[in-house]
Amino acid sequence: MVNGYAGKFLEIDLTNQKVEEITFSKKILQDYIGGRGLGVKILWDRLGDKWETIDPLSPENILLMLTGPFTGYFLGARICVTGKSPQGNGIIGSTVAGEFGVELKCAGYDGIIFTGKAEKPSYVFICDDTIEIKDASHIWGKTSRESMRYLVKDSINDIKKIHPNYGEFKEPSVLYIGPAGENKSRVAAVEAKYSHAAGYGGYGGVMGSKNLKAVVVKGFGPLPDVVDQDKILELSQEFSNNCFNIEFFRRWGTGSGGYTFGADSSSEPVRNWQEEWHNEKSYRGEEFDKFWVKKYWGDYGCPVTCLKLAALRDGKYAGAICDNPDYELEAFLGTNLGIFSPEQNIYLSYLIEELGFCGIQGGAILGFAGELFQRGILSKEDLGGINLEWGNVDAFAELARKIAFREGIGDILAEGLYRAALKLEEMKKIDVLKYAIHLKGMAIGGHGLKSGKDMVTRTSIGYSVSVQAGDHTSSASLPIDEDGSELYSILSDSAVYCFFTTFNLVFDQIASFYQAVTGWELPKESWFSEKGLRILHLQRIVALLGGPDAVWRSKQDDTLPSRFWEPLPSGPYKGDSIDKNTFEKLKSEYYTAVGWNNDGVPTSEILQKLDLKDVELKLKKEHLL
């Protein structure tokens, strides 16, 4: 019996419609924790020896939905979605908040492993030990809301059959995809609760490739037993009080950033990153606030509730409802498209969620198309009649729809920045890759580096050497054991918790919570020089091994998009740029700190120290080492 874990995982073979319960040894759980860490371990063990040959959108890929030992007990529940990423061909740990992980654990499972591909559109229904793979043909092609409405309603009826005399029970939780995912877009998200998404990584497309529309789960049991409930309560109270005191963040969430990251820190993408500064007062937090119908919104156990519910009650876009665009969506579905109206931004965020895109990845591809239109590379005809001028929200909305359903140009753009750029280059015989602001196949989060003033990504190497490339929630920094480093992100994605609830907490506090749940110690030293590092290396290695259509090499790819090397063209920090020498120096310091050689490949020495000899052999076989 392990504490804090249900102790079993579901393995669902969609090809053969087979469901099995599996377990992992205590050692594996102790080393890889859960979520991202465990996901990396499962994927490496099962796919590692043929990693580079696997197409992430083929049935060979494995899709994982994994909780961690913090899910349900720690403030603000999340679940981690992962697999081989169709964006970068590596592994991205993509977490999404909500009750799904709690329901899953209450149903008796720590996670779900999906293999193969269902013959026809399907969804999986889980209610404790009842597990069914059900037909989803009638909701295939439907938007998020419509799909959810059906799934919740139908599943409630199914649960009633199992518990006819129970009385009312709470609705089940759902992870689902929209049309973008169904059509295997590489910028599609796995979504929850209308406006929550595991966006980075493109796992919505992976679900689509498996003909898996949704997973519905309801658990009637308690969360698994913990070692020291009193200690958990004591720590929860302490950590919660810490959150209650962060008044500003609770009040605004990240939603005041749409103005401040542009106006104050000059680090917000504007018109496909052509600028990073704007001073549009129309875009201030207060202007968004006017549309908020709920000022504090959150997920299971959250003391912060930094989300806000925005609704357009009247006007042209009446009926649009979403969680108030957080900073990233304010940027990628706003400023980066030349949109500076909260109303239009809310509408577009709502639409993007309805269609099933990741707001960042999906928004970035719209911005890319916008710039190609601006430069006359893509014409109105190319775009199927869309006049894609900056700020034209209806045009961007129409293009998003085309991408979701892969109509016309949408078929190319659905492939994400990198692949779409290659395709368009071929068609147009012009270098367009320079307008695709991506790293290793992934759009970069909305935190520019040139001004050096961004609060989130604090160093110029943040994205370049991250094992999750452009992911702003997993950026690298030095020293590697300092708060905010990528090893901290690996911890939060593996224990699975939200880092917005851990401001001001130090490692030892997290470790004591971990110990109160599991009874296991997690000394700082063991995380930063062993366990965390092992997960980091595995992620690095699969990124280097890549996939059939793209591989990344440190020399050309541990860098920044070419536009990031140009000076800021406007604003108070006009002329500021990233110093290439400092960047290179930091990069090599980082390589040394984590144990990579000059080519950015983990050394034999560190691999042996971390007990990753099979990895070493594989790297040698592929002539990477």
Q: Residues 6 or more apart from 566 whose CB is under 8 A from it?
A: 577
Comparing CB distances to other proteins, the nearer of 26 and 313 is 313
Q: Torsions phi, psi of 343, nearest 5?
A: -60, -45
Please list the residues that pair with 21 across neighbouring strands. Answer: 10
Work out whether 19 is an interface residue with other proteins (CB under 8 A).
no
CA 618, CA 63: separation in Å to the nearest integer? 23
**CB 322 → other proteins: shortest distance, Å?**
9
Rule CB under 8 A: choose which of 19, 28, 227, 309 binds other proteins: 309
Measuring CA to CA, which residue among 49, 43, 8 is closest to residue 25? 8
CA 87, CA 470: separation in Å to the nearest integer? 11
Comparing CB distances to other proteins, the nearer of 196 and 534 is 196
Work out whether 553 is an interface residue with other proteins (CB under 8 A).
no
Comparing CB distances to other proteins, the nearer of 229 and 582 is 229
- 549: which 2 tokens? 């259509």
Work out whether 577 is an interface residue with other proteins (CB under 8 A).
no
CB 587 within 8 A of CB 459: no
Work out whether 160 is an interface residue with other proteins (CB under 8 A).
no
Question: Beta 173-176 vs 212-218: how paired, if at all?
Answer: antiparallel
Comparing CB distances to other proteins, the nearer of 166 and 565 is 166
Work out whether 3 is an interface residue with other proteins (CB under 8 A).
no
Work out whether 138 is an interface residue with other proteins (CB under 8 A).
no
**CB 88 → other proteins: shortest distance, Å?**
30
**C-alpha angle with apex 220: 215 to 224, nearest 5 degrees?**
95
Work out whether 221 is an interface residue with other proteins (CB under 8 A).
yes
Candidates 219-227, 365-373, 397-405, 542-550 — which segment interacts with other proteins by CB under 8 A?
219-227
Comparing CB distances to other proteins, the nearer of 68 and 532 is 68
Rule CB under 8 A: choose which of 167, 376, 429, 525 binds other proteins: 167
Comparing CB distances to other proteins, the nearer of 168 and 525 is 168
**Buried b / exposed e across 370-406, counting CB within 10 Å, b at 16+?**
bbbbbeebbeeebbeebebebebbebbbbbbbbbbbb
Comparing CB distances to other proteins, the nearer of 300 and 573 is 300
Work out whether 410 is an interface residue with other proteins (CB under 8 A).
no
Per-residue binder mask for other proteins (CB under 8 A), 288-307, x = binder: -----xx-xxxxxxxx-x--
**CB 517 → other proteins: shortest distance, Å?**
11
Work out whether 311 is an interface residue with other proteins (CB under 8 A).
yes
SS3 294: strand
**CB 604 → other proteins: shortest distance, Å?**
45
Rule CB under 8 A: choose which of 130, 137, 229, 592 binds other proteins: 229
CA 144, CA 486: separation in Å to the nearest integer? 32
Work out whether 352 is an interface residue with other proteins (CB under 8 A).
no
Rule CB under 8 A: choose which of 37, 39, 72, 199 binds other proteins: 72
Comparing CB distances to other proteins, the nearer of 517 and 543 is 517
**CB 187 → other proteins: shortest distance, Å?**
22
Work out whether 222 is an interface residue with other proteins (CB under 8 A).
yes
Rule CB under 8 A: choose which of 7, 59, 134, 145 binds other proteins: 145
CA 22, CA 32: separation in Å to the nearest integer? 16
CA 188, CA 198: separation in Å to the nearest integer? 9
Q: Which helix (H) or strand (E) holds 94?
A: strand 94-97
Comparing CB distances to other proteins, the nearer of 222 and 376 is 222
Work out whether 497 is an interface residue with other proteins (CB under 8 A).
no
CA 291, CA 313: separation in Å to the nearest integer? 8
Work out whether 321 is an interface residue with other proteins (CB under 8 A).
yes
CA 113, CA 527: separation in Å to the nearest integer? 26
Work out whether 2 is an interface residue with other proteins (CB under 8 A).
no
Q: Residues 6 or more apart from 443 whose CB is under 8 A from it?
A: 187, 332, 360, 361, 363, 364, 365, 416, 417, 437, 470
Candidates 44-52, 191-199, 521-529, 550-558 — which segment interacts with other proteins by CB under 8 A?
191-199
CA 191, CA 347: separation in Å to the nearest integer? 18
Dihedral sign, Cα of residue 400, residue 402, residue 403, residue 404: positive
Comparing CB distances to other proteins, the nearer of 93 and 303 is 303
Work out whether 565 is an interface residue with other proteins (CB under 8 A).
no
Q: Residue 331, Cα to own-chain centre: how many angstroms?
A: 16
DSSP letters along 392-447, please? -HHHHHHHHHHHHTT-TTHHHHTTHHHHHHHHHHHHH-S--GGG--EETTEEPPS-
How many chain residues are in contact with other proteins, going by CB under 8 A?
52
Q: Residues 6 or more apart from 323 whose CB is under 8 A from it?
A: 194, 195, 196, 297, 307, 308, 309, 310
Rule CB under 8 A: choose which of 106, 465, 467, 542 binds other proteins: 106
Under the rule (CB under 8 A), what is the footprint of other proteins?
A: 72-73, 99, 102-103, 106, 145, 149, 152-153, 163, 165-171, 193-195, 219-223, 225, 229, 233, 240, 244, 293-294, 296-303, 305, 309, 311-314, 318-321, 323
